[in-house]
Amino acid sequence: MRKHIFNAGPSVLPVEVLKEASAAVVELNNSGQSILEISHRGQTFEGMIAEAKSLVKELLGLGDDYDVLFLQGGASMQFCMVPMNFLNQNETAAYVDTGTWSSKAIKEAKLFGKVDVLASSKAENFNHIPKGYEIPKTAKYFHITTNNTIYGTQFHSYPESPVLYVADMSSDFLSREINAQQFDFIYAGAQKNVGPAGATLVILKKELLKKIDKTLPSMLDYRVYAENDSLYNTPAVFSIYVCLLTLRWIKKTGLKTIEKINDAKASAIYAAIDRNPLYNGHSAKEDRSKMNVTFTLSKPELEDAFDEACAKADIVGVKGHRSVGGFRASIYNALPLESVHVLCAVMDDFAKKHG
């Protein structure tokens, strides 16, 4: 029986995508070859990359002034590639520090230039999204992490940036309708909302490529990926293929519909937290993430028992990250609403017994 998969990443994928992908592992569309055996050079895979690119642009509402690249190395590689390509030693990049992933991005940027941390919620264990700072017009770029996977906070509106705007959208990519044109550069590891581990998506304004003014190692140079349609070397063929299937699923379902279901899932769990004093939400209410719901127990000694209650209900992946403790329910696109109902029933039931 399939479990209720609340894993933070790699994470739940649509069952129909898993079925199609597993059939393609045996044989891709009557081609006599597995998806694992085809060349990355040739019409079949080039067609897949082209379709995946155009779906990403369509779903984000972006036109031909943007390019979509597929890279490896995870979102973490982007922490260094962004400053490596766009920041020089004597220049300053502006970051908002909203958690572990932002902090790691800041650390890497410092290797290449100066970093101005405009705001941080670190002193409050990243339980909110800082507001009310000014973005200096002299900054080379401005960087945010739109959803903080570990702490369970999310930007529900994006500050306006007067400078090149960079966003790590790894954990809320294509989970809702956004005005993507606001951003010049978006990156996301696939393994949260759009596919398996192994592929990283970069969406950037093409004109940015002209602003890169240094010699870089080929594999760390966005221009090389763009000029070669992400086929400079062997890309993560299977991972990109599963991303394509997931993107088709998102389009077929409709981003608006997915957003509505995601809203319903998040509201249901937050309501369970709010009606039971046993649970304490980690995030400030106005910044609560609709992708990762974090909470602790007001009786921490019951954590193992709560884990057991979840396991009994076939729920996996709700153990919290060590930096927050407690629990985290990741409720990405492909997680069915029914799974959330199962979790909420366990939460209510457990609170009744132990509250």
CA distance 153 to 293: 8
Strand partners, 117: 95
Q: Does 175 bind ligand PLP (CB under 6 A)?
A: no
Provide the strand spans (E) within the chain. 4-5, 66-71, 92-97, 114-120, 141-145, 147-148, 153-154, 164-168, 185-189, 200-205, 279-281, 292-297, 315-316, 327-330
Q: Candidates 39-47, 166-174, 305-313, 334-342 — which segment interacts with ligand PLP by CB under 6 A?
A: 166-174
Instruction: Count other Cβ atoms within 10 Å, centred on residue 115.
Output: 22
Instruction: Count other Cβ atoms within 10 Å, centred on residue 303.
Output: 16
Question: End-to-end CA distance of the chain, in Å?
Answer: 31
The residue from 192, 205, 265, 290 that is catalytic is 192
Place of tokens 């937050």: 270
Q: Does 76 bind ligand PLP (CB under 6 A)?
A: yes
Q: Does 161 bind ligand PLP (CB under 6 A)?
A: no
Q: Does 168 bind ligand PLP (CB under 6 A)?
A: yes
Q: Does 174 bind ligand PLP (CB under 6 A)?
A: no
CB of 74 to ligand PLP, least distance (A): 3
**169 or 310: CB nearest ligand PLP:** 169
Residues from 284 through 303 that contact ligand PLP (CB under 6 A): none
CB of 288 to ligand PLP, least distance (A): 16
CA distance 109 to 88: 10
**33 or 76: CB nearest ligand PLP:** 76
Q: Does 153 bind ligand PLP (CB under 6 A)?
A: no
Residue nearest to ligand PLP (CB): 74
**108 or 184: CB nearest ligand PLP:** 108
Q: Candidates 63-71, 163-171, 258-266, 297-305 — which segment interacts with ligand PLP by CB under 6 A?
A: 163-171
Q: Does 171 bind ligand PLP (CB under 6 A)?
A: yes
CB of 186 to ligand PLP, least distance (A): 12
Phi, psi of 170 (to 5 degrees): -45, -45
Task: Please report, as a single letter, which amino acid is at residue 266.
Answer: A
Query: Structure tokens of 305?
Result: 């028992």
Q: Candidates 122-130, 164-172, 211-219, 294-302 — which segment interacts with ligand PLP by CB under 6 A?
A: 164-172
CA distance 211 to 100: 29
Q: Does 239 bind ligand PLP (CB under 6 A)?
A: no
Note if 263 is an active site residue.
Answer: no
Q: Are strands 114-120 and 92-97 parallel, antiparallel or unpaired?
A: parallel
The residue from 53, 57, 97, 101 that is catalytic is 101
Closest CA to 286 of 175, 57, 96, 130: 130
Cα dist from 136 to 86, 118, 139, 163, 310, whole Å? 17, 9, 6, 8, 47
Give the per-residue contact string, 191-220, with ligand PLP (x = CB under 6 A; - = no): -x----------------------------
Give the per-residue contact string, 100-129, with ligand PLP (x = CB under 6 A; - = no): -x----------------------------
Note if 168 is an active site residue.
Answer: yes
Return residues touching ligand PLP (CB under 6 A): 9, 74-76, 101, 145, 149, 168, 170-171, 189, 192
The residues annotated as belonging to the active site are 101, 168, 192
